[in-house]
Structure 1
Amino acid sequence: MKKTTLMMAGLVLLSCTAFAQKNYLEESKADKAKRMQWWTDDTFGMFIHWGLYAVPAGEYNGKGGGAEWIMETHKIPTAEYEKFAGQFNPQKFNAKEWVQIAKSAGAKYIVITSKHHDGFSIWDSKVTQYDIMDATPFKRDILKELSEACKAAGIQFCLYHSIMDWHQPDAKSKDYKHQSTENPDFNKYREEYLKPQLAELIKKYDPAVLWFDGEWIPEWTEQQGKDLYNYLRNIKPSLIINNRVGKARGGMEGMNKYENAAGDFGTPEQEILKGTSQDYWESCMTLNGNWGYVKNDNNWKSTQLLIDNLVDIAAKGGNYLLNVGPTAEGLIPDQSIERLAEMGKWLSVNKEAIYATNGITNYKEGDNIKFTQSKDGKSTYAIFNKYDNNELSLTSIQPKAGSKIYLLGVSKPLTWTKDGNAVTVKLPEELPGKYAWTLKIQN
C-alpha cells in the first residue's frame, strides 16, 4: 500500500460524510427509468476481460485451465503470481482501435475489468502499488486511454470491479487463500482499499456503469452491498450499478431472489432468460469458452448464434454484453474481430429493430421469428432467420387494411395478403445480407 493510502481513505470518507447522504435505495420507478434510459436503448455492449492472466494465457507449469481464474485454479502463491506483472507489457495495445472494433460491431458501451479477482489494477491507482504504473514495464494508464477513446467515439465507458481480492492481505476470504495472512481485517479492506479505489475510478474516469462481481464470498453481505451502492451513487448520482453489488443474485440466471435488493439490473451469465422480466437485465456471454484470453481456446461461437442471441435478448427486453479477451500483447483476437464485424454489418441494416425498442414475447411464431416494437408503438418488427419459397407467414400480427410492410434494407413496401388470421408476406427474390432479416409492420 502506498503512503497516501490512509490519508486518501480518510479524505474520501470525510468528503462523503460532510454532506447529507441521499438514500438512493428509495429512488422512484420514474426516476430510475429516466436514469436507465440510455442503457436500455443501447441494448448491446462489449465486455473486455484483460489483466495479468493474459500472460499465462490459460496454462501454468504445462497444465491448462483457469483463464482469469488461473491463480485460484492452480493455487498459485501470491508472490509467484506477482511475477506476471513484470511480464505484462502490451506494446500493441491501441485504445482507439479497440473502441473502433466495438463501434463497428454496433456496441454502444464498453465494460472493462479495472480489477479482477487476482487484485491487479489496470490503472494508475494511488491506493496500491500493485497496478499498471508501478508493477509493470508498460507504465501506461489503460483506463485513461480507453476512457478518452470512448468519449471521442461516443461510446459509453463502463467498468467491471471485483469485490473479492486474492492479493490484498486484508481481503483474504475464508474460501480463497493464496498466502498466509494472520488476522485479515475485511472491514479494513472494504473501508481503506475497496471504497477508496472505487471513488478514485469514478472521479478519474467517470464510468457510466459499475459492474461488480465476486460478491459470493461469505465476508460480503447484502447490507454491505446497499451501503456501497449508496456510497457510490452519492459520488455520482447517475451511475448504474449491477445487482452483484449485493447478495440477491440467484445463480447463473442472475436475477434477484428477493425484492428491495441493491443494484439496478440482473446479470444472467452465459444464458438468456426464458421470458421477459419486470426488472432490468443484461446477459453477459463469451465469444468462445473463456472470459480471459486462453491461447488454446478455439471454441468460437458462430456469427449466426451471436446474432440469434442478440435478437432473442432484444425480443425479451434485455441487454447483450458480449466479451472479448485480449492477448498479453494488447490485441483482440482476429476470430473475435471477424465475428464482431459481421454483427456490425447485420446491425447496420437491422438496427431499427434492436436499439431503443420494447421486447414482445406474447407473439408466438416458433423459434425462428422474434418480435420487438418501437417505443412509440407505431411499428412492430418481426425478425426471422428462416423462410420458405420467398414467403413468410404470420398469425400474431394483424395489420390493418392499407398498412405497409417493409423489409429493412429494401426501400419499397412488400406485398402481403390476409386469409383469416394468417398474414402472408411476399419476400424479394434476394434478401439483403444474411443471418436474419426484419419485417417492419406499421401498426
Structure 2
Amino acid sequence: MPMQSWFSEAKLGIFVHYGIYAVDGVPESWAFYTGQVSHAQYMKQLDGFTASQYEPRDWAALFARAGARYAVLTTRHHDGVALWDTECGDLDVVRRTPAGRDLVGPYAAALREQGLKVGMYYSHSDWNHPDYASVLHPSPSPDHEDVLTSPWVAPSAGVEDPGAWSRYLAYRDGQVGELVDRYRPDLLWFDGEWERAEEQWGTDALAARIFRGDPRTVCNARLTGHGDYATPEQGVPLRAPDGPWELCLTVNDSWGFQPGDTNHKSVRQLVRYFAETIGTGGNLLLGVGPREDGTIPDEQAARLEGLGTWIAAHRDAVYGTVAGLPAGHHYGPSTLSADRRTLYLVCFDPPREHVGVRGLRSRVRRVSVVGTGTPLAHRVVGGLHDVPGVTWIDAPAARDVDEYATVLALELDGELEVYRGTGRI
C-alpha cells in the first residue's frame, strides 16, 4: 500500500524518550550496556519511576503549539521495560513501578484529541529478555562488532540456541501486536535493527502482523525490508536520502532526561535545523526527555514554544510545501508550494541591500515578506540566450525582519523552472 501522504505533509514531529532511565538521569538502556552503571543499579530505577505528574494532555497541547503534526513515544526501549501492561512477560511499568498504570493509552488518546498522529517507538532488541542473547549476527558492520561479544546480545561461549530465538521473536511480535490492536498507532518507529541480520529478525511476519491490524500504518526503515522512510540522526544530511525521510534531533545532547546536560540548542538553531530539513524534503523529529514524574523540562518546553511561534508566523512556507531550490540558487533553504507556483526563500541573517536568486527561468510576478505581507521590489539583471539573469529582491525593512529567520514569498508566473546548465562556452 502506498505510504500515507500525511507523513510528508507533517513537517514536524516530537520524539519523546520516557522511561525508568529518567529516575537517575542516565543514558536510556545504554547505561548498563556500556558499564556506566551496573545492571542491578540500572534496574533499581524501577522502584523510583512514579509518573506522578504525567499529564499527556499537557504534552499534546505543547506539541500542537510547537507546530508538530505527530509525536513518537518510546513504548519499549532496549532495556525491555514496557510502558503498558503487556501480556508478554511482566517487565512493565504497570506491574513493576510505582506508576502502576498504562502510560501508552492516555498518550494516544491525548494526541488524537489535538488532531496529532500517534507514533510509537519499539526496539527490536531487548537486553533484559532471557531469550535475546541466543544467536549471533552473521556479518555485523565494523561500527557494531560489539554485538559479537556483548553479553547482552551474543550467546554465552558463542553457542547459538535457535529455539530460544524463536521464542524471542514470538515475544517481540506479541508485544507489537498488542500496540497495534490496543492503540492503533498511525506510525511505528523501530530501532535496534543493527544487532541482527534482516533475515534473523523475521520482519516479513512482523510486517504482516502490523498491516493486518491496519494496512495504513507508517513504519520507519528500521523495519528492515518493509519500512517507508529513512531516519538519519543528529545532523542534517548533505544530500537528502532517496524517498521520504526524517531527521531525528535532540533539543540538547541527550535523548532521555539527563539533568547534567544543559547544552540546549537555541530557538534560532532549531529554526535553522527545521528550515534546512523541510527545504530538502524531510521532516524534523525533535527529541525531548521528560523527567521520571512525566514533566518536560522548562528549557525544552521553551524551545518547542519558540519554534512553534516561528512556524505559526510562517505556516504558508511550511505546511503544504515540498523541497525548494537545489543548492546554489539561493544562500539558504527554500520550500515550494504544492502547485509549484510560490517559492519561499528562508534568510537566516537579516538581508542587506538585496537578496539574489540565480537560475530562475520562471518570471516572478510578486515578492512579499511572509508574516507581514509587505511587498518588495525586484528586478532581473543580466542573462543571455537560455541562461537567465539574477533576480535581485530589495531587502525588507528592519520592521519586517524576523528575529530568527525571515521568509520571502516569490509568486511565479507558472510553475517553477530553474536553469542548471554551465552557461555559454
Q: Which bin holds the TM-score, normalised by the shorter protein? A: 0.7 to 0.9
Is the CA contact (8 Å cut-off) linking 2:132 and 2:153 kept in structure 1? no
1:385 corresponds in structure 2 to: 348
- Alignment pair present for 1:316 and 2:294: no
Deviation at 1:177, TM superposition (A): 2.7
Deviation at 1:78, TM superposition (A): 5.0
- Alignment pair present for 1:225 and 2:203: yes
Q: Structure 1's 428 and 131: CA in aligned 2 closer, same or farther, altered over 3 A?
A: same
Deviation at 1:365, TM superposition (A): 3.9
1:410 corresponds in structure 2 to: 372
Residues 35-434 of structure 1 aligned to structure 2 (within 5 Å): 35-58=3-26, 66-74=27-35, 78-172=39-133, 175=147, 176-178=150-152, 185-191=164-170, 193-218=171-196, 221=199, 224-246=202-224, 261-362=225-326, 364-365=328-329, 368-397=331-360, 400=363, 403-420=365-382, 421-426=389-394, 427-431=396-400, 433-434=402-403
Summarize deviations over 1:251-305 as a string: whole Å, max 9, x none. xxxxxxxxxx321111111122222343111110111111111111111112222
User: TM-score when scaled to structure 2?
Assistant: 0.85
Q: Structure 1's 220 and 226: CA in aligned 2 closer, same or farther, altered over 3 A?
A: same
1:258 corresponds in structure 2 to: none
SS of match in other structure, 2:193: coil
Summarize deviations over 1:79-114 as a string: whole Å, max 9, x none. 553321121002121111111111111111000100
Deviation at 1:432, TM superposition (A): 5.1
Deviation at 1:181, TM superposition (A): 8.2
Summarize deviations over 1:45-104 as a string: whole Å, max 9, x none. 00001111111202xxxxxxx344112122756555332112100212111111111111
Summarize deviations over 1:315-369 as a string: whole Å, max 9, x none. 1111110100111121111111111111001001112112221103425245x42
State the AA in 1 paired with 2:405.
A
Is the CA contact (8 Å cut-off) linking 1:371 and 1:380 kept in structure 2? yes
Structure 1: 5+ residue stretches without partners: 1-26, 59-65, 247-260
2:417 corresponds in structure 1 to: none
In structure 1, distance between residues paired with 2:127 and 2:327: 47
In structure 2, distance between residues paired with 1:138 and 1:67: 18
Is the CA contact (8 Å cut-off) linking 1:158 and 1:209 kept in structure 2? yes
In structure 2, distance between residues paired with 1:278 and 1:288: 28
SS of match in other structure, 2:400: coil
Q: Single out whichever of 146-155 and 326-335 deviates more from structure 2.
A: 326-335
Q: Structure 1's 284 and 179: CA in aligned 2 closer, same or farther, altered over 3 A?
A: closer
State the AA in 2 paired with 1:416.
H
RMSD: 2.2
State the AA in 2 paired with 1:186.
W
Deviation at 1:203, TM superposition (A): 1.1
Is the CA contact (8 Å cut-off) linking 2:76 and 2:123 kept in structure 1? yes
Is the CA contact (8 Å cut-off) linking 1:287 and 1:301 kept in structure 2? yes
SS of match in other structure, 2:393: strand
SS of match in other structure, 2:195: coil
Q: Structure 1's 231 and 307: CA in aligned 2 closer, same or farther, altered over 3 A?
A: same
State the AA in 1 paired with 2:166.
N
1:437 corresponds in structure 2 to: 406
Is the CA contact (8 Å cut-off) linking 2:153 and 2:195 kept in structure 1? no
SS of match in other structure, 2:322: strand
1:4 corresponds in structure 2 to: none
User: TM-score when scaled to structure 1?
Assistant: 0.82
Is the CA contact (8 Å cut-off) linking 1:410 and 1:432 kept in structure 2? no
SS of match in other structure, 1:348: helix
State the AA in 1 paired with 2:367.
I
In structure 2, distance between residues paired with 1:40 and 1:172: 37
Q: Structure 1's 223 and 51: CA in aligned 2 closer, same or farther, altered over 3 A?
A: closer
Is the CA contact (8 Å cut-off) linking 1:363 and 1:396 kept in structure 2? no
1:254 corresponds in structure 2 to: none
Q: Structure 1's 412 and 262: CA in aligned 2 closer, same or farther, altered over 3 A?
A: same
In structure 2, distance between residues paired with 1:222 and 1:278: 26
State the AA in 2 paired with 1:177.
P
Deviation at 1:144, TM superposition (A): 1.0
In structure 1, distance between residues paired with 2:246 and 2:206: 21
Deviation at 1:389, TM superposition (A): 3.2
In structure 1, distance between residues paired with 2:187 and 2:78: 19
Is the CA contact (8 Å cut-off) linking 2:85 and 2:92 kept in structure 1? yes
State the AA in 2 paired with 1:395.
R
Identity value in percent: 28
Deviation at 1:398, TM superposition (A): 5.1
Is the CA contact (8 Å cut-off) linking 1:43 and 1:354 kept in structure 2? yes
In structure 1, distance between residues paired with 2:166 and 2:209: 15
State the AA in 1 paired with 2:22.
A
SS of match in other structure, 2:112: helix
State the AA in 2 paired with 1:394.
V
Is the CA contact (8 Å cut-off) linking 2:9 and 2:319 kept in structure 1? yes
Count, aligned residues: 387
Deviation at 1:383, TM superposition (A): 1.1
